[in-house]
């Protein structure tokens, strides 16, 4: 599953875009120095997200929307199309 697919599924599960969740996380004081377990606990408690989907949001919250280029392209395990994740929702994603 691609990194972007995880984020798209998070939107389906929570009804919130990754950007909305990022904004909420920041309002709670979560950022680059936040412990992974704290973010995962919040996502589990408030949105019933499991570890895999939670870790996708942990990356966005602690490192931003850019992923390593090794995860981009047809030969990558995750096969993302870009090294920049789309956070503003599936309906607004450029074609």
DSSP string covering the chain, please? --HHHHHHHHHHHHSS-HHHHHHHHHHTT-STTS-HHHHHHHHHHHH---HHHHHHHHHHHHH-SB--GGGBSTTSSS-BS-SB---S-GGG---
Over residues 46-54, mean pLDDT: 96
Vertex 63 angle, CA 60 and 68, to 5°: 95
Average pLDDT over the chain, rounded to an integer: 92
pLDDT grade for 76, boundaries at 50, 70 and 90: low
pLDDT at residue 82 above 90? no
DSSP string covering 62-76, please? HH-SB--GGGBSTTS
| Residue carrying the six token digits 């936040």 | 34
State pTM to two decimals: 0.90
User: 72 - beta bridge partners?
Assistant: 80
What are the extents of the domains in the chain? 1-65
pLDDT at residue 77 above 90? no
Over residues 9-27, mean pLDDT: 97
């Amino acid at each position: 599953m691609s990194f972007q697919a995880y984020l798209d599924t998070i939107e389906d599960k929570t009804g919130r875009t990754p950007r909305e969740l990022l904004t909420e996380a920041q309002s709670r004081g979560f950022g680059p120095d936040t412990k992974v377990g704290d973010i995962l606990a919040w996502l589990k408690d408030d949105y019933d997200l499991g570890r895999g989907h939670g870790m996708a949001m942990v990356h966005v919250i602690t490192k931003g929307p850019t992923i390593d280029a090794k995860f981009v392209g047809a030969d990558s395990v995750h096969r993302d199309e870009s090294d920049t994740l789309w956070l503003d929702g599936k309906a607004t994603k450029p074609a």
